[in-house]
Every structure is written in C-alpha cells, then in structure tokens.
C-alpha cells in the first residue's frame, strides 16, 4: 500500500512538472505509437480518464484498450511513455524502456499498478489499433510525403490519423500540398485535414482543410508540426499527398561553418528533443 501511494506521488510530481517549458506545451496529447499501441490522454489534460472513458477514447478511434502483453510487445521495440494509463480489464501501468530516476523508479519494463478495484480513478489510456498503423506516425527525416490512407485509392470512412513531424532544433518545416481531394462541406465538419504548428492538436492551430482546391504552402515557426486527418461515417474522396521538407536555419555569413555544427549540438534526440 505504501509503495502504491509513493509511486502515485512520484508519477503525480512528474505530471505536475509538465506544462509550459521553453515555449513548448508538454502536457498534451501524445500519440506516439509502436506495434499498433499508442498513448492517449484527455483533451483536458493528464490523468483525467476513468476506465470507461479510456475505453471509449480507444473505441472512438476504432481501437480498444491495449492488453498488458500488447503494451509489453510495443515496449520491446522502443515504446516509452512516462504516464500511467488504463489497459484492458482495468489494469493500469506504463512502458519504460530507458531507466530513469524520475520515471519508473529506475526500472525498465511495464511499471504495473495492477488491476484497479476502483474504476473511477483517473489515468491516461493505452489503446491498441493495428489497422490504424499505416495512417499517421512520427517523422524525423528531413523530407517525407504523407498520403491519405490507401492512396491513390479513395480513403475510407471513419479514419483518424495523426502525423507528427519532429525535426532538429532550429530547423523549420515547409509543407507543400501535392494533391488534395477531401469531401467538401462549408465548415469542413465532415472530413478534414487540420494542421497544427505544434507537436499536438491542442495548440498552434493553423487551419482546417477540405474540398479539392490545393491549400497554400505552410511553414512552421518551430521544429515540430502535427497533421490530423479525420473522415466521418459517409462519403469519401480521392485523398491527398503532402510533402514536407526541412528548412535549415539561415546561417550568418560571419560565422559560416559554425552555425551548422551548433545546430547539431543543440539537437537532443528522444521524446523531449523539441525542448
């Protein structure tokens, strides 16, 4: 019991230390995924979902709560999240790949809080949705072309995809729409693509797009960007292809070579490389 209270306190402290730091909102919707497993938190923030709500979040996106085994399989290929979430059958835990004192008590593995007797407790969620795999993901390459699921065929109904772009510190992202055809309606409420100048879909809203007119190019202010595509239960269309390219920071003529090497030194890989 004491261990449990202690572990909760530690995780809670960690949660409290999130928030705005160096202009980046950390308490956000993380959708890092591996082996069909991803972490989800409520729009209102961290640790806000009861068991039934967590289940509903996964089901809304066409998946279900991940089992302990699925979370462990994802962890084995590098899925690491410092936030406890509901799994199937009311179990709570989180996957730790890299041991650290701030998270996971220096252990690796699934930090397991066990099957909760009280399902009104509020945690995050771990969802499993292997079919959603091709739609969305995390990209760190200097260029890439995103396609709507199934492209060049029409996309399907009830898709939800998040593409997160995370480049080196100092770089910017240039988005160019190559093809675009998404079910048209006046407010783009049916099917749409949203672009966020941020690593989540909470802050930095740039625009929502539908129809068949090519949107203008978009440049990010920082080194992260999120694209979210959602289709409803009826009417599909041709889909899209969107290209992004990394734009290096302008080098000052006075310190020539220095600029590039500094750019590399500043880059911290890993989840919080966006600092």
Ligand X SMILES: *[C@@H]1O[C@H](CO)[C@@H](O)[C@H](O)[C@H]1NC(C)=O
Whole-angstrom distance, CA of residue 73 vs CA of residue 70: 5
Alpha carbon 148 to its chain centroid, in Å, reads 17
DSSP, res 249: P
Q: How far is the CB of 182 from ligand X (least distance, A)?
A: 41
Q: Which is nearer to ligand X, 186 or 261 (CB)?
A: 261
Could you tell me the CA-to-CA distances from 130 to 33, 88, 161 in Å, in that order? 10, 15, 13
Instruction: Considering only the stretches 4-12, 81-89, 116-124, 237-245, report the one whose residues sit in contact with ligand X under the rule CB under 6 A.
Output: 116-124
What residues between 170 and 229 interact with ligand X by CB under 6 A?
none
Whole-angstrom distance, CA of residue 86 vs CA of residue 114: 10
Q: Which is nearer to ligand X, 153 or 258 (CB)?
A: 258
Q: How far is the CB of 39 from ligand X (least distance, A)?
A: 20
Q: How far is the CB of 53 from ligand X (least distance, A)?
A: 12
Q: Which is nearer to ligand X, 44 or 118 (CB)?
A: 118
Instruction: Considering only the stretches 113-121, 145-153, 221-229, 233-241, report the one whose residues sit in contact with ligand X under the rule CB under 6 A.
Output: 113-121
Q: How far is the CB of 51 from ligand X (least distance, A)?
A: 10
Q: Hey, which bits of 57-171 come out as E strands?
A: 64-65, 85-86, 91-96, 109-115, 124-128, 137-139, 143-147, 160-166
Whole-angstrom distance, CA of residue 75 vs CA of residue 94: 9
- 101 binds ligand X, rule: CB under 6 A: no
Could you tell me the CA-to-CA distances from 175 to 141, 202, 217, 226 in Å, in that order? 14, 19, 5, 11
What residues between 238 and 257 interact with ligand X by CB under 6 A?
255
Q: How far is the CB of 40 from ligand X (least distance, A)?
A: 19
Q: How far is the CB of 171 from ligand X (least distance, A)?
A: 20
* CB contact at 8 A, 72 and 95: yes
Q: How far is the CB of 261 from ligand X (least distance, A)?
A: 7
Exactly one of 258, 266, 268, 272 binds ligand X (CB under 6 A); that residue is 258
φ/ψ (deg, to 5) at 119:
-85, 5
Exactly one of 121, 179, 194, 248 binds ligand X (CB under 6 A); that residue is 121
Burial of 23 (C-beta count, 10 Å sphere; 0-12/13-18/19+): exposed
Q: Which is nearer to ligand X, 120 or 186 (CB)?
A: 120
Q: Which is nearer to ligand X, 121 or 179 (CB)?
A: 121
* CB contact at 8 A, 14 and 82: yes
- 120 binds ligand X, rule: CB under 6 A: yes
Whole-angstrom distance, CA of residue 166 vs CA of residue 270: 10
Instruction: Considering only the stretches 9-17, 117-125, 164-172, 201-209, report the one whose residues sit in contact with ligand X under the rule CB under 6 A.
Output: 117-125
Q: Site residues (CB under 6 A) for ligand X?
A: 118, 120-121, 255, 258
């Amino acid at each position: 019991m004491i261990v449990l209270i202690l572990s909760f306190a530690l995780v809670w402290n960690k949660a409290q230390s999130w928030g705005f730091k160096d202009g980046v909102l950390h308490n956000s919707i993380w959708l890092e995924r591996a082996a069909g497993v991803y972490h989800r938190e409520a729009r209102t923030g961290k640790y806000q979902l009861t068991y039934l709500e967590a289940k509903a979040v996964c089901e809304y996106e066409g998946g279900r709560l991940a089992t302990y085994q699925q979370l462990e399989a994802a962890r084995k290929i590098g899925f690491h999240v410092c936030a406890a979430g509901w799994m199937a059958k009311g179990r709570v835990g989180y996957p730790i790949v890299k041991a650290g004192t701030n998270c996971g008590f220096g252990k690796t593995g699934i930090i397991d809080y066990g099957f909760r007797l009280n399902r009104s407790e509020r945690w995050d969620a771990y969802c499993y949705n292997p079919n959603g795999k091709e739609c969305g993901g995390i990209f760190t390459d200097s260029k890439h072309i995103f396609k709507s699921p199934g492209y060049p065929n029409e996309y399907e109904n009830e898709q939800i995809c998040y593409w997160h772009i995370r480049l080196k510190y100092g770089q910017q992202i240039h988005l160019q729409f190559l093809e675009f055809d998404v079910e048209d309606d006046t407010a783009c409420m049916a099917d749409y693509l949203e672009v966020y100048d941020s690593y989540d879909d909470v802050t930095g809203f740039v625009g929502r797009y539908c129809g068949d007119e090519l949107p203008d190019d978009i440049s990010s202010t920082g080194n992260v960007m999120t694209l979210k595509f959602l289709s409803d239960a009826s009417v599909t269309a041709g889909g899209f292809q969107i290209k992004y390219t990394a734009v290096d920071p302008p080098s000052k003529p006075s310190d020539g070579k220095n600029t590039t090497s500094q750019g590399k030194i500043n880059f911290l890989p890993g989840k919080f490389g966006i600092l």
